[in-house]
Amino acid sequence: MPVIPPDIAAVADYEPHARQRLDAAIWASITGGSADEHTVAENRAAFARIRLNNRVLADMSGAHTRLELCGQALEHPILLAPTAWHRLLHPEGEAATVMGASAMRAAMVVSAMASLPLEAIAKRATSPLWFQLYVQPDRAFTHALVQRAEAAGYGAIVVTIDAPVTLRNQEQRAGFRLPLGIEAVNLRGAQPPPPPKAAAHESEVFNGLLAGAATWEDIAILRARTRLPLLLKGIMTPADALKGIEIGADALIVSNHGGRVLDTQPASIDALPRIAEAVAGRVPLLLDGGIRRGTDVLKALALGARAVLVGRPVLHGLAVGGATGVAHVLKLLRTELEIAMAQTGCATLDAIGPEVIWRP
């Protein structure tokens, strides 16, 4: 069993240990953001700006972190965000990740870019699994992938809608390439997008990279073809949130993709309150981007989220300690959340509201 370094007392402490263990190009791939990475930094800075109200002498008898989300009972509101190619970080890949998640009874969103078959991951899980989907240019393949997830027992489909094209300069400078033997195995057999028809002087983006990009019509078709709850990941405006509800989404994930798709967007946590006001409780909201402390989880819940998703810290834990590292990351966050709840007088998640946030 891996030994967790003794100087790790908080989630952020995993990061330098992970960096020491990983090739520089792999590190650039998992930590890098879009362009100048302002949004990556802003995701953390925004949480640091939010202040909490301490409340004393609250009755915490019977306190718990349980909730129901998309028809599933969860022990706590900390989920694993979908992230690609876990075998880059640990030989057991997503098998180790799901074991760590299951040890902490955490729901895991498995990426379409996973390095192990979705069925193999499901066989190792004892806590809820959701499947993350990118709409492929080959729509028939996309729908077959959803059917595979349904057959394997996944409890929801999470469609990432904010990444039709990307620009990741740190990754480019590092020359990242997938090592031999590691690939997005669940996308084997998908037809590649058609080659660009543009002349050399025409737009590589508009006439090439966007070929086959998803639209709202694709989401409507997916909604009609799956019996599972459908979540949309990548919502950053009230208008898109309302469109998602109109088209039949069961929940929305407020996310700027960890700062990896469009630089200089606001932090996810800063976008959350306006979206929550517009949605007005019609569907649950989740949030990702910048979660590093239990107080971050509390702040997200206070501002309108029902749960959060954690990405890079889970990868750091996986790189350092395999399944044990993943479980420890989740344990740290849950313990800190419970401490923050006690110190703000909130015995349950439903008790966490806007009054938890300090206003000048």
Residue 132 near residue 115, CB atoms below 8 Å:
no
DSSP H helical ranges for the chain? 14-21, 24-31, 38-49, 94-103, 118-124, 139-152, 169-174, 216-225, 238-247, 268-279, 294-302, 312-343
Walk me through the domains of the chain, giving residue ranges and CATH numbers.
Answer: 14-53+64-191+224-354 (3.20.20.70)
**C-alpha span between 255 and 236 (Å, rounded):** 6
The token pair at 193 is 């997008």
**C-alpha span between 21 and 26 (Å, rounded):** 10
The token pair at 110 is 């498995």
Which segments in the chain show pLDDT lower than 70?
Answer: 1, 193-201, 208-209
Please report the pLDDT score of residue 164 as a whole number. 78
257 catalytic residue (yes or no): yes
Q: Which residue has the tokens 């996810």?
A: 268
Catalytic choice (76, 257, 316, 328): 257
Residue 333 near residue 281, CB atoms below 8 Å:
no
**C-alpha span between 217 and 351 (Å, rounded):** 38
